[in-house]
């Protein structure tokens, strides 16, 4: 059996496992095996095919989780986070990771094991900045700061422990400032790009009108020249 046939079988197997709702480590191992190829072009094509498929399936599956338990929802979200990480879809991976953390935070009041730590929010913020999702990184920094209430620190920590925690807070704030500045810069850049696009479009429109006018003027001059030439010929013939 050729390697292409083997890959096709693995893709078919992975698809069937997803469609039969097998969200476990075995399914992820199949996904990893599909992506083992030395051909860069084939790898890029495979990633694109698998990304589109997993995105469609994840949307369909998550929509049907309304009445599911929190534990089941978290298992599904974690599975797709890992699947998107394997195929290199950072955007989808971070989006679902944020959903996972937010869901845990929402239900952590009655279930301490679901509590989201400062470190988890901070790590997520770092990954979001690395992938240029600055707005969501800033939000994650705010969540991280909420996990570190200063009033409790002042009551329960000694001077050394308090100093360490204040250092942590400053680190989060610095990361938030970076995310804020870059998000603002990204917005300005987007506005600049849109402005330039409008200017180019306007310039192209004006250029087209100028070209048309030049063509029209040239055409009129050409026709007038032909008329004058024919008139002179006619006058010469009349004199003869």
The string of pLDDT tens digits covering residues 174-185 is: 999 999 988 887
Q: Is the pLDDT of residue 197 over 90?
A: no
Provide the pLDDT for residue 222.
55
- Using CA atoms, how far apart are residues 50 and 18, in angstroms rounded to an integer? 12
pLDDT at 204: 60
Higher pLDDT, 198 or 230: 198
Contact by Cβ (8 Å): 153, 159:
no
Q: Each residue of 118-173: pLDDT tens digit?
A: 899 999 999 999 988 888 999 999 999 988 865 444 445 555 556 677 888 899 99
For residue 1, pLDDT beyond 70:
no
Please state, rounded to an integer, the average pLDDT across all residues of the chain.
80
Would you say residue 200 has pLDDT above 90? no
Q: Which of these, 186, 105, 88, lies nearest to 138 by C-alpha position?
A: 186
Residue spans per domain, the chain: 1-110
Per-residue pLDDT, averaged over 219-228, amounts to 61
- Residue with structure tokens 């506005």? 191
Average pLDDT over residues 213-220: 59
For residue 101, give every residue at least 6 positions away whose Cβ sits within 8 Å of its Cβ, in sequence order, or none.
116, 120, 121, 124, 140, 143
- Is residue 46 scored above 70 in pLDDT? yes
How many of the other CB atoms lie within 10 Å of CB of 50? 22
Residue-level pLDDT at 151: 43
**What is the percent of the chain where pLDDT is above 90?**
43
Q: Record the pTM.
A: 0.69
Instruction: Express each pLDDT in 98-117 by its tens digit.
Output: 999 999 999 888 788 899 99
pLDDT at residue 154, as a whole number: 46
CA distance 169 to 116: 16
pLDDT surpasses 70 at 189: no
Output the pLDDT for position 237. Answer: 55
- The DSSP letter of residue 115 is P
Query: Is 50 exceeded by the pLDDT of residue 88?
Result: yes
């Amino acid at each position: 059996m050729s390697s292409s046939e083997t890959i096709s079988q693995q893709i078919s197997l992975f698809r069937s496992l997803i469609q039969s709702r097998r969200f476990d480590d075995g399914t992820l191992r199949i996904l990893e095996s599909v992506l083992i190829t030395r051909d860069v072009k084939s790898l890029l094509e495979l990633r694109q095919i698998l990304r589109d498929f997993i995105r469609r399936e994840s949307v369909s599956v998550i929509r049907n989780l309304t009445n599911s338990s929190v534990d089941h929802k978290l298992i599904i979200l974690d599975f797709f986070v890992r699947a998107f990480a394997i195929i290199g879809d950072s955007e989808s991976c971070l989006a679902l990771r944020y959903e996972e953390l937010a869901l845990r935070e929402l239900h952590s009041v009655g279930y301490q094991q679901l509590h989201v730590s400062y470190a988890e929010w901070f790590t997520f913020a770092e990954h979001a900045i690395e992938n240029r999702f600055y707005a969501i990184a800033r939000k994650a920094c705010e969540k991280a700061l909420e996990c570190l209430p200063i009033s409790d620190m002042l009551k329960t920590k000694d001077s050394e422990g308090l100093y360490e925690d204040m250092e942590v807070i400053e680190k989060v704030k610095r990361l938030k400032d970076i995310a804020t500045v870059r998000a603002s810069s990204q917005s300005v850049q987007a506005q600049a790009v849109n402005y330039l696009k409008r200017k180019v479009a306007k310039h192209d429109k004006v250029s087209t009108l100028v070209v048309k006018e030049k063509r029209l003027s040239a055409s009129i001059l050409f026709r007038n020249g032909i008329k004058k030439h024919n008139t002179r010929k006619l006058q010469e013939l009349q004199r003869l």
